Every structure is written in C-alpha cells, then in structure tokens.
Copies of this chain bind each other. A is one copy, B any other.
C-alpha cells in the first residue's frame, strides 16, 4: 500500500468504499491558513454522487468533519484530519460478486497481491477514496489562494466528442454551469446526451479532462526526478481510470520542429515572458511563470450494466451482471479531483522550494 502523497505537504488517505468512513490526514500544512470550512464542503459537493441523472445515484451527503489541526479557525501547523462517514452503503448489492473477478476492475489484482480483499464496491480500489483527495486538495487551494494561483479543470472530450479549442479562447468559469463541466454550452449539451444515451444502454464511455493553472510563480518544481510535470503526471495517473497524461504541446508536439516549438523569451515590463507556450509553463521541470496546462485521459469505467463472462476465485467461468449504482462517464465528477490533485502538487512544490531553493515568495 502507499496511501500517501507529498514530501512536505503530505497527505495520507484511508477508507474503503463500504467501510465506516473515508478520510485524510494532512501533515505539513503551514500554520495560520484560514480554514474555510464552507469552501472545502463546496469542493466535496462538486465531487459528490447524485448531482444529475448522468452521475451515479448513490446517495452520499459527504459532509466532512474536522478532527484535528484547526483551532480558532486557523491551521496550527499540526496534522489536519478530515473525515466523511460512509452513509448509503448497500453492501448487499455486492454479495453476489464476492468471489467474482469483475472485468477490468482491481478485483483480481488485489486478490493476487494481498490474498484477500474487501469486495464491497471495490473496497479500497473504489473511486470513493477520492473524497479524501478532494478534501485535502481543497485545503491546498486555500494555501494557493494566498499567492493568487488558480486552477481550472474542465471536460474537453467525451467519447469522440471533442472541444477542440485552445483554453485561452474559452470562458472556463462556464464549465461549472452544466452537468458535464464543459465550458462550451453547445458541446456540453451534446456530451450530456451522449453520456445519457450510453447510460440507457447500460454502457460506459471515456473522456478527457483539461486543466489550466494560472499565477504560478517561476521557480517551482524540483529538477531531475521530481520535475513539476512528473509530479503532476504521477498525481493524475494515480486517479482511478486514468490512462494518459500530457502537458504543454504533449503528443502533438512530437510532430513539430524545434524551430517552431521553442518558446522565445521577451521582456514585458521587467517580467520574463514567452511568445508561445508549448512548454506548458514548465522548463527543465521548473515552472517559468507562464500558464501550466495539461490533459488527462480517462477510460470508460469498468462497471457496466450488461452481462460479461469472467472467472471466479476458483477459476470457474461465471457471468458478471452489472448491479449497483455507477457513473456511465467519470469525467464530470473527475474535474474537482484533477483540480485537487493539481493543488496538492503545487503546494508541495511551493514548500519544497522554500526548503532548499531561493525564497521566491
């Protein structure tokens, strides 16, 4: 197991899908941060199930509770523990699969790795664990607020439907105005329809989440192994169902010549800027002050409402029947998770910079 992330701003999560609770400890949060409880709850609300008919109908209030680390409304420099009780646990929905390996789930691999598993709702492998990430990520956003760093993620693709415009021309705030979280209302509607159709067929479909980070000071990120984009990549790839990550020019940049791809520097009132930003705001693993942007690919979720042939723990052929309540497409609810993980990466980079680099802020 490895349920912690971060070197300085370190989070440790716990909890299974149908256990008593899910939660997180954040160790290394600076003292004196305003603990804006409402904001944290609002982030959890963005992730919570049941927001529209295209997300799972599982009912979870997902109201979080603070157990430590906050006193008189401020962080204390001590570990902050946050927790959400698991409410609507229809564990019986899962008893029929207690010995079955659901296709493309983690049932088989957990069984091999540990010799046991909590089969209810996928146990620890369930995306329910991301409640803890969103809570911790919200706290990280509160830290970033102090230096005016903002993070906006949005859905840019569902199945073959793409929002093929550069983020600069979009009003990203519109993403929160529809159930899909795509900032273009028209495409959002088409995506909604596609997801809804998919849902009715008992199937699932993939998607892409884009993320843009503005206001990052130059100098964040540790060279060599912990490059800023390597940390972002790892953080994103650790989210359930993610299959790919690219930043800046990404896979398309491969087709370019260096003479096109290089971002030329210029001076704007004493600030070093670049004419283009194929670098995605990161050079040599360190932020250069430009916008950081990246894309995250999510596969179609493995749980579908159709019969599938599979095996049980004894090697018998079985039919896995889809039950339970699930998302036909994860990207709308993945948006706050992507943002939260990005915030965690940035705050950790910020504190590591303070530890061994020059003091930038």
Where the two chains meet, the residues of A that have a C-beta atom closer than 8 Å to any C-beta of B are 1-5, 7-10, 12-16, 19-23, 25, 27-32, 65-69, 71, 74, 76-81, 83, 101, 103-106, 108-110, 112-118, 123-125, 129, 157, 159-160, 198, 203-208, 218-219, 221-227, 229-231, 233-235, 237-238, 243-251, 253-267, 270, 272, 274, 278-280, 282-288, 297-304, 306, 308-311, 315, 317, 351-360
Contact = CB atoms under 8 A, between A and B. Distances in A.
Nearest to A80: B14
Given A116-B77, A198-B257, A254-B208, A227 B237 contact: yes
Contact of A206 (B80, B117, B261, B310): B261
A206 B1 contact: no
A306 B254 contact: no
Number of copies: 4
13 contacts: A1-B79, A8-B355, A15-B67, A32-B114, A76-B123, A109-B287, A113-B219, A125-B223, A208-B254, A231-B234, A244-B245, A256-B299, A266-B311
A258 B203 contact: yes
B299 A2 contact: no
Contacts of A108: 218, 265, 272, 283, 288
A265 B310 CA distance: 5
A309 B205 CA distance: 46
B2 A253 contact: no
Given A14-B81, A71-B118, 17 more contacts: A1-B79, A14-B68, A16-B68, A22-B68, A23-B81, A74-B116, A103-B264, A109-B285, A114-B358, A129-B224, A230-B234, A234-B234, A248-B299, A254-B298, A258-B304, A262-B302, A355-B355
B261 A104 contact: yes
Given A28-B356, A67-B23, A115-B31, A248 B243 contact: yes
Contact of A245 (B124, B231, B233, B354): B233
Contacts of A287: 109
A243 B251 contact: yes
A255 B114 contact: no
Contacts of A221: 109, 113
Contacts of A254: 157, 159, 206-208, 243, 297-299
